[in-house]
Amino acid sequence: MKAIKVENLSKAYQLGEIGTGTLSNDLKRWAYKVRGKDDPFLKIGETNDRTTKGESNMVWSLKDLDFEIEQGDAVGIIGRNGAGKSTLLKILSRVTSPTTGSVKVKGRVASLLEVGTGFHPELTGRENIFLNGAILGMRKKEISRKFDEIVNFAGIERYIDTPVKRYSSGMYVRLAFAVAAHLDSEILVVDEVLAVGDAEFQKKCLGKMNDVSKSEGRTILFVSHNLSAIKELCQMGILLENGKLSNYNSIDIVTQEYLQFDHQKSKYTHDRSKINKLGFIHKIDLFSYEKKITNSFKAETISYASIKYEIVKPTKYFNIGFTISDTFDTHLYSSSDTDKLTAEQLIEIRQPGLYNVIAPIPLYNLNSGNYKITFIMGEINTTLFDSVEIFFSIENNNFLNTGNRTGILLSLNKWQYTD
Amino acid sequence: MQPINSKKMPLQNAQDESWDLEIKPQNNLFELHLADVWRYRDLLGLLVRRDFVSFYKQTILGPLWFFIQPLFTTIIYTFIFGNLAGISTDGLPQPLFYMAGITAWNYFADCLTKTSTVFKDNANIFGKVYFPRLIMPLSIVVSNLVRFGVQMLLFILLLTYYYFTGANFNITFYVMLFPLLVILMGIQGLGIGLIITAMTTKYRDLAFLVTFGVQLLMYATTVIYPLSTAISKYPKYAWIIEYNPMTTIIEGFRLGFLGEGSFNLQSFLYTSFISVLLLFIGVIIFNRVEKTFVDTV
């Protein structure tokens, strides 16, 4: 059974300042509309690529989306910044209306674009639970029925009759999420709300959302940049690219494509204008131990990055290096071309020119999952010349029957029984 | 194709092609989602409560602050308009005359000015969650009603005081119109406020006019003078005051509680018609703007 059906959905936004010099444009548009013509400021086919300047100052944030979501599915929406994820959620939660097309929905939609919308600092936790619940669409009776559950989940029983302005920010967020998590809706739309709160609470939120989707059979749409969270929660994924639907498939395939896509993008088209013109990274390829270009590696191997870079002026204390971090941005490993150099070699001046270097990336003991490798080059501790981010994943099939082990590090060794 | 957009409530296992909600670019002009507003009535109550409670939190005098403003305004008006300028009060005790006008006028003015900024003030919350937007201005009108109720208490106290000191006034049968007059005032304030807030989301110019305009409008209403004086002094221009729908209300209010004022069915019907028309236009424009204002505010 379908829960959501999106047909031909597009949304246009006006760039630049609104209110100055727009009155004449407004009149012009109105005149076109009266004569039954298309809006002269909406050029068809202009895509929303924020890095290039367009001709018109209207831009399509979403363009011709068509998809259906089955009831009970948990769908992750991924894409780079500005791909249209939030716009899509805003339309689904009726905060703004589409420019063309329609969305058909079965059941009640509860949206959580922000935690704690409508909380009033002067009111107590108890009063705010009722107020926030009602804003999210609950009846008073419903809230009373779930009140204890909400307070329990938030874990703030002691502070329930204290104004929320006295709460710590963590408590505030806990309470806010608790209210939203107890909504009785068939469809739950969640924007990146888990970026707040401590790790324990984030886990609790994810767990609650998991319950909601798996045991209660409700439909979830979830936007996040945290790919491991998305993978854990969702079975299906939607990849948006410049306002268009790029892929709608099982979450593994979609995240794979996203990483691939990001890999290519970051390799060739990072924004050159923003960095100082002292040096550039021209090209980075990641190789597996079999010398294949890829960004998906086997655990317990060593892979390599082949880097081509350019230095513009003679540079003292030059170095190029990389750090590997997980999806929570925890640094796991870093390495640089100055590692293991002698003191004399270190202060040697680098001459301008093109350089090719192979950097080893040891993956012996990283667990399977998604990682990010960030290459940076510049003068040590002073000037950054250029940087490139590439996402990659590590697969492993060490653990027959039992599924993966958790944690960042891979379990490598066999256990020994003694007599 | 199967029929779409059936307006049923969820929670029933309907057929695959029947949808509970369709999100489209522009809905019909007269599709006002009033059923939605009714469904969110609990929110209205809670918002009113929030306004009331947060008003006097961390103050010593608490709700007493509701009294201060009309009380001092009455005193000032008595000095300036009553004694210095010597404007007639139709033989009524001056404080009573002014307070009657001020209390009623304040309700209308508060409804108007507060609803006229509803989009701007709530842009943040409107941008994050959907609920029928009309709930917000409605909650303002009801909040102000509570405030008005408290101020009426003060007026009635003053009335009782003058009654026992034997002042020259009498409560008439027209006092029965009081609830109707209050509703009309609320409707008018709400209607004009909705029109203004809808028109100021994109171009803010009109917003500057509001506070200033409300002030001026007060002088075109019989708050500080009786209609009879206006007619006798400016027979040519008194029609401006007579056609002002608020005049009918303030005059009716004074006639009911104090026995001096004017009332005729014709102007009452005229006022009712204008009020309902303003509200109707206001709600339609408001609904029109509500759908996309998040992008332009």
A290 or A116, which is more confident:
A290
Same domain, A237 and A120: yes
Whether A92 is covered by a domain: the verdict is: yes
Tell me how close the Cα of A97 comes to any Cα of chain B, in angstroms.
6
* pLDDT over 70 percentage in chain A: 81
With bands split at pLDDT 50, 70 and 90, how would you rate the model's confidence at B173? confident
User: Does residue B23 surpass a pLDDT of 90?
Assistant: no
Same domain, A216 and A362: no
Cβ within 8 Å, pair A100-B296: no
Cβ within 8 Å, pair B19-A106: yes
With bands split at pLDDT 50, 70 and 90, how would you rate the model's confidence at A116? confident
pLDDT tens for residues A352-394?
Answer: 889 999 999 988 888 887 888 888 888 887 788 888 888 888 8
The shortest CB-CB distance from A95 to any of B20, B46, B294 is to B294
User: Does residue B238 surpass a pLDDT of 60?
Assistant: yes
Q: What are phi and psi of A36, to 5 degrees?
A: 75, 20
A361 or A233, which is more confident:
A361
Q: Where are the alpha helices (DSSP H) in A248-320?
A: 251-268
Check residue A176 and give its pLDDT: 85
A403 or B71, which is more confident:
B71
Nearest CA to B222 out of B266, B271, B175 is that of B271
Output the six-digit token pair for A9: 């959905």
**Number of domains composing chain A:** 2
Whether A262 is covered by a domain: the verdict is: no
- In chain A, the residue whose alpha carbon lies closest to the alpha carbon of B128 is A113
- In chain B, the residue whose alpha carbon lies closest to the alpha carbon of A98 is B25
User: What's the average model confidence in pLDDT over A300-321?
Assistant: 88
Cβ within 8 Å, pair B53-A123: yes
Return the DSSP state at B118: H
Note which residues in 102-161 of chain B have CB less than 8 A from chain A.
124-131
Whether A161 is covered by a domain: the verdict is: yes
Same domain, A190 and A302: no
User: Does residue A270 surpass a pLDDT of 70?
Assistant: no
Helix, strand, or coil (residue A135): helix
Same domain, A82 and A213: yes
Strands A331-336 and A318-326, sheet pairing: antiparallel
pLDDT tens for residues B180-233?
Answer: 999 999 999 999 999 999 888 777 777 788 888 998 999 999 888 888 888 888
Whether A364 is covered by a domain: the verdict is: yes
Note which residues in 151-210 of chain A have CB less than 8 A from chain B.
163, 186
Whether A238 is covered by a domain: the verdict is: yes
Same domain, A104 and A172: yes
Cβ within 8 Å, pair A134-B46: yes
Residue of A25, A102, A216 to mutate when probing chain B, most B C-beta within 10 A: A102
Cβ within 8 Å, pair B26-A97: yes
Give the predicted TM-score (pTM) of the model: 0.73
For residues A56 and A46, the answer to whether their CB atoms sit within 8 Å is yes
CATH number at residue A99: 3.40.50.300
A23 touches chain B (CB under 8 A): yes
Residue of A22, A29, A96, A190 to mutate when probing chain B, most B C-beta within 10 A: A96
CATH number at residue A363: 2.70.50.60
**CA distances in angstroms from B172 to B94, B105, B155, listed in the order given:** 19, 21, 16
Q: Is the dihedral of CA A137, A142, A143, A148 positive or negative?
A: negative
Whether A184 is covered by a domain: the verdict is: yes
A137 touches chain B (CB under 8 A): yes
B14 touches chain A (CB under 8 A): yes
**Average pLDDT over chain B, rounded to an integer:** 85
User: Does residue A162 surpass a pLDDT of 80?
Assistant: yes
User: What's the average model confidence in pLDDT over B97-111?
Assistant: 93
Whether A126 is covered by a domain: the verdict is: yes
Helix, strand, or coil (residue A310): strand
Check residue B27 and give its pLDDT: 64
Check residue A356 and give its pLDDT: 92
With bands split at pLDDT 50, 70 and 90, how would you rate the model's confidence at B272? very high
Which residue range forms the structural domain that includes residue A376?
270-395
- In chain B, the residue whose alpha carbon lies closest to the alpha carbon of A139 is B42
User: What's the average model confidence in pLDDT over B282-289?
Assistant: 89
Alpha-carbon distance of A210 to A231, in angstroms, equals 11
Note which residues in 63-102 of chain B have CB less than 8 A from chain A.
none
Tell me how close the Cα of A53 comes to any Cα of chain B, in angstroms.
21
Helix, strand, or coil (residue A381): coil
Residue-wise DSSP of B188-254? HHHHHHHHHHHHTTT-THHHHHHHHHHHHHHHTTTTSS-HHHHHHH-TTTHHHHHHSHHHHHHHHHH
Check residue B13 and give its pLDDT: 45
Tell me how close the Cα of A42 comes to any Cα of chain B, in angstroms.
15
> Of A204, A223, A251, which closes a domain?
A251
State the complex-level ipTM.
Answer: 0.82
Check residue A36 and give its pLDDT: 62
Nearest CA to B194 out of B215, B216, B210 is that of B210
A98 touches chain B (CB under 8 A): yes
Parse chain B into domains and list their residue ranges: 61-296
The shortest CB-CB distance from B127 to any of A1, A95, A186 is to A95
The shortest CB-CB distance from B125 to any of A1, A19, A118 is to A118
Highest mean pLDDT: which of A73-87, B132-146, B162-176? B132-146
**CA distances in angstroms from A262 to A146, A231, A269, A345, B33, listed in the order given:** 43, 17, 10, 36, 43
B4 touches chain A (CB under 8 A): yes
Same domain, A179 and A280: no
**Average pLDDT over chain A, rounded to an integer:** 80
User: What's the average model confidence in pLDDT over B29-44?
Assistant: 83
Same domain, A236 and A312: no
The count of other CB atoms within 10 Å of the CB of residue B29 is 10
Check residue A407 and give its pLDDT: 78
A114 touches chain B (CB under 8 A): yes
Same domain, A236 and A148: yes
User: Between A and B, how many residue pairs show a Cβ–Cβ distance under 8 A?
Assistant: 118
Check residue A380 and give its pLDDT: 81
In chain B, what residues touch A120 (CB-CB under 8 Å)? 50, 54
User: Does residue A290 surpass a pLDDT of 80?
Assistant: yes
Same domain, A300 and A371: yes
With bands split at pLDDT 50, 70 and 90, how would you rate the model's confidence at B7? very low
Same domain, A144 and A196: yes
Check residue B137 and give its pLDDT: 94
Check residue B1 and give its pLDDT: 38
Same domain, A159 and A208: yes
User: What's the average model confidence in pLDDT over A166-194?
Assistant: 82
User: Does residue B12 surpass a pLDDT of 80?
Assistant: no
Tell me how close the Cα of A57 comes to any Cα of chain B, in angstroms.
14
Note which residues in 17-46 of chain B have CB less than 8 A from chain A.
18-26, 40, 42-43, 45-46
User: What's the average model confidence in pLDDT over B87-99?
Assistant: 87
Same domain, A336 and A190: no
User: What's the average model confidence in pLDDT over A239-267?
Assistant: 75
For residues B101 and B123, the answer to whether their CB atoms sit within 8 Å is no
Check residue A262 and give its pLDDT: 55
Whether A14 is covered by a domain: the verdict is: no
Check residue A399 and give its pLDDT: 57
A229 touches chain B (CB under 8 A): no
